[in-house]
């Protein structure tokens, strides 16, 4: 995913483009975009069960979960699963933008970036409590 960085410009409050970065590629997670798989992925990190997937892979899977959700014509209402998936994706992007400089992002190995484990615990808990178990 390519992201762009802007800084305030001198003219009329317009932003000035200062550069961009592209995340290093990571293999996609080959799981269907279901609520059960979302719970499973978050549990892997929350419980430190294994390191099968990187945080980058999980964030991108969550991003695509949202696209698939909106593409499903049978879905009419937002769900807790969608809210959590969107939060994971947004927190990934915000962490990158707020933690690293543009120069760092342009040469960063994104597969090594980790979000706080407690966030995954909280997201997982939110899903399991919403499901009643």
Average the pLDDT over 87-104 and give the result.
94
Q: Do the beta carbons of residue 88 and residue 7 sit within 8 Å? A: no
Report pLDDT digits (tens) over 52-71. Answer: 899 999 999 999 998 888 77
Q: Residue 45 contacts by C-beta under 8 Å, 6 or more apart in sequence?
A: 53, 55, 58, 117, 120
Under the banding of pLDDT at 50, 70 and 90, the label for residue 12 is low
Map out the domains of the chain as residue ranges.
24-130
Report pLDDT digits (tens) over 68-88. Answer: 887 776 766 778 999 999 999
């Amino acid at each position: 995913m390519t992201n762009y960085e802007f800084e305030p410009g001198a003219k009329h409050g317009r932003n000035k483009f200062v550069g961009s970065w592209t995340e290093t590629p990571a293999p996609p997670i080959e799981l269907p975009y279901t609520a059960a798989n979302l719970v499973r992925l978050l549990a892997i990190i929350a419980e430190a069960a294994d390191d099968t997937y990187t945080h980058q892979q999980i964030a991108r899977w969550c991003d695509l979960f949202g696209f698939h959700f909106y593409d499903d014509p049978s879905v009419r209402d937002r769900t807790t699963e969608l809210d959590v998936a969107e939060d994971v994706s947004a927190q990934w992007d915000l962490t990158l933008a707020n933690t690293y400089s543009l120069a760092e992002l342009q040469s960063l190995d994104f597969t090594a970036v980790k979000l706080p484990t407690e966030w995954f615990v909280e997201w997982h808990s939110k899903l399991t409590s919403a499901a009643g178990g």
